[in-house]
Amino acid sequence: MCTGLSIQTQEGKWFFGRNMDLAYYFNQAVMIMPRNHQYQDKVTGNTVTNKRAIIGMGTVIDDHPVFADAMNEAGLGCAGLNFEGYAYFEKEPIEGKNNIAPYDFIQWVLSNHETIEEVKQGIENLELVYRPINDQTPVSMLHWMIVDKTGKAIVVEKTKDHLAVHDNPIGVMTNNPTFDWHLTNLNEYLHLTPTSPKQTKWGEHTLNALGVGAGTIGMPGDFASVSRFVRIAYIRSHMPKIEGDVQAITQFFHMLDYVKMVKGGVLTDEGLEDLTTYSSCMDQEKGIYYYKTYENNRIDAINMHKEQLEGTNLKFFNYLTDQDINYQN
């Protein structure tokens, strides 16, 4: 479970982020990977040197950094979302290809590229290989949404058939099935509208809308991936004009709240609560990473350009989960 979103302000700025829907925590924190940070490629054994500073939500497993969503200093953003049952990764490296593990895909995208066109060119020679970080950590089955600071967006999906790169004209993404299926499915919801239906007659009987919101009757309201895709695509397509960063950030998190998972909604097969552990919003122009957690509704922010972006050590920021209530008396 997860939802990705990209929106634009009236001034032409782009914001990109996601809901992270999980039944567990992965020791996550906002972290900055500076230029020249090094880590080992688990597929080839080679040492990888980071070329562009990156900020995002991630973790470190056996000294190996892994991002769930992030952006680089050029404003290119990438998020990995669950694609269980559809994702397929090669068992062994493919000769003549640039072979990497799926959990390194975000670093590869953000370290080596600044625009969507550059990413598309790089993917032509890329292969994703199933190579766990360690024996206790299976490879997450993901697909990815990538957005540059001009708003151009793609979705990358590796299935058993092929490695597909879909242009993303709708600016949203959820989980399975494949992205092209989701776009086709939107045709089933042409009738949805923010305005109320006009008065009409069936025979001699006059029909009127029963209150505000009748134009959205038929909107799927469940937590399934297909339904969340329809809801977030609808609300993004009918979003009013937004002026300024604060309005954009506020609207962005409200839109993610529209498709968030809450306790009591969904249980996994293991009986665990599937919920939105955090929501993120990245200012792709200013390099600011905003987030809020399930336990703490306050929006926290880290500006990557206030930090040292060249060096060898990762920098971590506390993942804030204590509810921050402003008592007014």
Q: Give 48's strand partners.
A: 39
Q: Judge whether 2 counts as a catalytic residue.
A: yes
Would you say 80 and 143 are in contact if contact means Cβ atoms under 8 Å apart?
yes
Per-residue CA distances from 31 to 28, 61, 71, 97 (Å): 9, 14, 11, 30
Structure token digits, residue 19: 């809901």
- Measured between alpha carbons, how far is 214 from 221 in angstroms, rounded to an integer? 14
Per-residue CA distances from 276 to 15, 256, 280 (Å): 19, 10, 11
For residue 109, report the phi and psi dihedrals to the nearest 5 degrees.
-60, -50
Chain CA centroid to CA 47, Å:
27
Q: Which of 1, 2, 76, 304 is catalytic?
A: 2
Dihedral of alpha carbons 85, 274, 255, 302, sign: negative
For the annotated catalytic residues, the residue numbers are 2
